[in-house]
Amino acid sequence: MALEDSGLDVIGEAENAESLLILCQGNNPSVVLIDFNIDQQDIVRLIENLLDIDPVVAIVVISDLIEGQSETVLAAGARAFLQKPFSMYDMTDIVKKVKPVV
């Protein structure tokens, strides 16, 4: 995977919002990538739930451009929005930019 090849640790993948929340509760990731085709209300709720688990987690939403979606997810607390299509370089670059320095 491109993220691992760039020196980043990947703790897992989730098939849906519920499994993502469970994965995040047990692993405390510093960055979460969300690539779900769900409506804006559900994505906002998911971002809020992730921030309830860890208020400093950096959330990156990946999606096709839907008018107003990038503003909505950023207002909900996502740190970045990555529009499809994108290169692996774009993805690793954005993850490195939002990843907290420890």
Side-by-side strand order, sheet with 58-63 = 31-34, 58-63, 80-83
pLDDT, residue 74, reads 93
pLDDT, residue 1, reads 61
pLDDT, residue 5, reads 80
Task: For 40-81, write each residue's pLDDT tens digit.
Answer: 788 999 999 999 999 999 999 998 877 767 888 999 999 999
pLDDT at 23 over 70: yes
Mean pLDDT score, 24-46: 87
Q: How far apart are CA 51 and CA 27, in angstroms?
A: 14
pLDDT, residue 102, reads 62
Percent of the chain scoring above 70 in pLDDT: 96
Yes or no: is domain 2-6+30-98 CATH 3.20.20.70? no
Going from N- to C-terminal start, the domains of the chain cover 2-6+30-98
